[in-house]
Amino acid sequence: MTEQDTAQGATAADAGATKVTLVTGASRGIGLAVAQALVAKGERVVITGRDSDTLEQAVKQLGEESALGVAGKSHDEAHRAEVVERALERFGRIDGLVNNVGTNPAFGSMLDLDLSVARKILDIIWCPRWAGCSWCTGRGWPSTAGPSSTCRR
């Protein structure tokens, strides 16, 4: 463990412990690939997505002993709180967040963007990312906000 880890809230008990990472939007695509890479390293993941059937398939693929799926919408605060609660309940710790969820409902010039679409982009992508950054910063972890933003201790 480095001095930086200690400064970021890790304790001696963390040394050698199996890390647990929350990966949002991980029932397919880049999020699922990130989850697969973490599980391949022997770590555990809590993955999210809206469709519970797809999420369940992803959990089976990852291995039920290493992965937990919590279905819900990224812009729903109650869902985000449930993800944290169920992660702690199941695995007892959280070491990181990969805030991967995203959508691209618009193509072309921003000047042509309908306001309802702009609001959807803010709600689905940016609000959860700001909330995630704030959550990580509050735990003393480094934090970034960009496509597939990541913070871990």
Ligand X SMILES: NC(=O)c1ccc[n+]([C@@H]2O[C@H](COP(=O)([O-])OP(=O)(O)OC[C@H]3O[C@@H](n4cnc5c(N)ncnc54)[C@H](OP(=O)(O)O)[C@@H]3O)[C@@H](O)[C@H]2O)c1
Which range, of 25-33, 34-42, 107-115, 130-138, touches ligand X by CB under 6 A?
A: 25-33
Q: Which is nearer to ligand X, 10 or 129 (CB)?
A: 129
Smallest separation, CB 13 to ligand X (Å): 32
Separation of alpha carbons 99 and 65, rounded Å: 22
Separation of alpha carbons 39 and 116, rounded Å: 38
Q: Which is nearer to ligand X, 27 or 66 (CB)?
A: 27
Q: Does 50 bind ligand X (CB under 6 A)?
A: yes
Phi, psi of 149 (to 5 degrees): -65, 150
114: exposed, middle or buried (Cβ count in 10 Å: 0-12, 13-18, 19+): exposed
Smallest separation, CB 132 to ligand X (Å): 12
Q: How far apart are the first and last CA of the chain?
A: 11
**Interface positions, 74-133, toward ligand X (CB under 6 A):** 74, 100-104, 124
Q: Does 48 bind ligand X (CB under 6 A)?
A: yes
3-state SS, residue 91: helix
Smallest separation, CB 140 to ligand X (Å): 25
Which pair of tokens denotes residue 121? 């982009």
Q: Footprint of ligand X on this chain (CB under 6 A)?
A: 25-31, 48-51, 54, 73-74, 100-104, 124, 147-148
